[in-house]
Amino acid sequence: MRLANKIAVITGAGSGMGKAMAEIFSSEGAQVVLADISGKQNDVAAAINSGASANAVRAVPVHCDVSSEEDIQNMVATAEKEFGKLDILCNNAGFGGPMAPLHEQSLHVWNRVHDTNIKGAFLGMKYGIASMLKTGGGAIVNTTSASGVVGWKHHSVYGAAKAGVNSLTRAAALDYSDQNIRVNAVAPGTMWTGLVEASQTHAEPPADYPVLAGIPLGRWGLARDIAYAALYLASDEAAYVTGVTLPVDGGYCIGFSGMGAERPGIASVNKGET
């Protein structure tokens, strides 16, 4: 029960890493507001509530386009209305866009990727922090990407957005370090989530996938790998940790050697929301 008596808001909570965060956070005692644009957050909340006793954890779903200031304001207001405060904010919603060389990327893709990833994180922090300041502090966990830490071929647009979120994380950590608000980020590597699975012919993560050759631990990351890292950063166990971008990537970033070859499978992976 590492999050007992905590109120958490999680964006992108309808599937993948956000869903895993919702499930694990609630199992650790948090009450959760599940924000998503897809509608799938309703099913996640219903499943959490069905397993809760009358006096235990409950989940509240809310429709939220993270690029909408009005939706973000409503999301934070929902946490305050339903639970009285906001302790934890996970800015997890993201959009990858198509992979392509920079000169083939469109301004439309640039705007969509940046609206969801960096604008969404900015708005979430802006209104989440304002709420936390009223009640004595809190913890923010932003989901970024290994492609925002090191270069990924054909990832210029997405990588730029995620690198921007890493910078926002560091700056906000300094802005609020004396007001009991910690701001950290988790940077997933090559992940096997529902989005990826839907684009593949395999029901399970294939152990011989070519991209795994660049990952020292030799396997796909799973949604729960990210969720447990976020749990640590959100919990009081990380009370002395702020401004950190934590790669959860099987060692990819430390083992990165400027791989310039095509990486089979990635082009079909990073096309949708996470």
d(CA 52, CA 54): 7
- Fill in the DSSP letter of residue 103: G
With beta carbons less than 8 A apart as the criterion, state whether 113 and 97 touch: yes
Annotation says 176 is catalytic: no
Q: How many CA atoms lie within 13 A of 99 on its CB side?
A: 15
Secondary structure of residue 81 in the 3-state scheme = helix
- Fill in the DSSP letter of residue 125: H
Q: Where are the extended beta strands (E) located within the chain? A: 7-11, 31-36, 59-63, 88-91, 138-143, 181-188, 191-192, 221-222, 245-248
Q: Which of 127, 158, 209, 252 is catalytic?
A: 158
With beta carbons less than 8 A apart as the criterion, state whether 57 and 31 touch: yes
For residue 27, what are the contacts with CB-CB under 8 A and spacing of at least 6?
Answer: 57
Listed residue (134, 31, 13, 151) closest to 79, CA to CA = 31
Q: At what angle do helices 156-175 and 120-135 cross, to 10 degrees?
A: 20
Helix, strand, coil percentages (3-state) for the chain, rounded to 5, are 45, 15, 40
**Other C-beta atoms within 10 Å of 47: how many?**
14
Active site residues: 158
